[in-house]
Amino acid sequence: MRLILMGPPGAGKGTQAARVAARYDVPAISTGDIFRANVAAATPLGISAKAYMDAGEYVPDELTDALVRDRLSQPDCERGFLLDGYPRTTAQVTELDAILSDIGSRLDAVVVLEADQQQLVERLLNRAQVEGRSDDTEDVIRRRLEVYAQETAPLIDLYAARGLTEHVDGIGRVDDITDLINAAVDRRTSALDSDAMTG
Ligand code: AMP
């Protein structure tokens, strides 16, 4: 099972990614978590990434792509994976296509979690109090939503054109949203199965 979970900051991707990945017994790979771990450990990657993250900007594609290529080559990804927060730019889509083609594989579904802007800002401000993330201040939150709208939202059309997207309402009870995502993935994978049967 090879999945992408897409959606604006604050839509609940991280929470849902862990649950959905567990259901399919594949690793949930969050580029944001990997960057944060590198910042915490002050690795060269973390030191390069920190200023971008704190400003709400994307880390450059070269750094992000190299990290994902390396992570997807680990043995635990052979059976599949769930990507949370990657790809976020058209260049990253191209890189992911190349990685998948190198390993002779393809995506099964792109799940898009949806939420309106005001709710996202409230959730992120709330999370700032709970988790104390350095990129959860109001100005940076607005910038992250802007960058998402400019750079990442257009990718939804790109994957829709490939027939891979399923939209799920990201507002509601966490368990209900998980059920909706699971149903959406089942729909996509059965659509792919029937495509394969009809050629
Ligand atoms: P997230 O936890 O997914 O919201 O990511 C936190 C921050 O990490 C983002 O605001 C970016 O600065 C950086 N980041 C995470 N994933 C990517 C990506 N695919 N491309 C560029 N920057 C990323």
In a domain, 82, yes or no: yes
At residue 127, the pLDDT reads: 84
In a domain, 183, yes or no: yes
Q: Give residue 170's domain range.
A: 2-194
At residue 67, the pLDDT reads: 96
In a domain, 199, yes or no: no
- Please give the number of the atom of ligand 1 that sits closest to the Cα of 86: 19
CATH number at residue 23: 3.40.50.300
- Token pair 């949203």 is at which residue? 177
Total domains present in the chain: 1
Q: What is the per-residue pLDDT across 117-149, written as a single tens digit (0 to 9) for each?
A: 888 988 888 888 888 777 888 889 999 999 999
Measured CA to CA, the distance from residue 197 to residue 120 in angstroms comes to 41
Q: What's the chain's average pLDDT?
A: 93
Asked if 181 and 16 touch (Cβ cutoff 8 Å), the reply is yes
Assess whether the C-beta atom of 64 lies below 6 angstroms from ligand 1.
Answer: yes
Assess whether the C-beta atom of 82 lies below 6 angstroms from ligand 1.
Answer: no
In a domain, 43, yes or no: yes
- Please give the number of the atom of ligand 1 that sits closest to the Cα of 135: 10
Residues identified as active-site:
13, 88, 127, 133, 144
Q: What is the per-residue pLDDT across 137-192, written as a single tens digit (0 to 9) for each?
A: 888 999 999 999 999 999 999 999 999 999 999 999 999 999 999 999 999 888 76
In a domain, 137, yes or no: yes
Q: What is the per-residue pLDDT across 15-70, written as a single tens digit (0 to 9) for each?
A: 999 999 999 999 999 999 999 999 999 999 999 999 999 999 999 999 999 999 99
**Helix or strand run (H / E) with residue 5:** strand 2-6
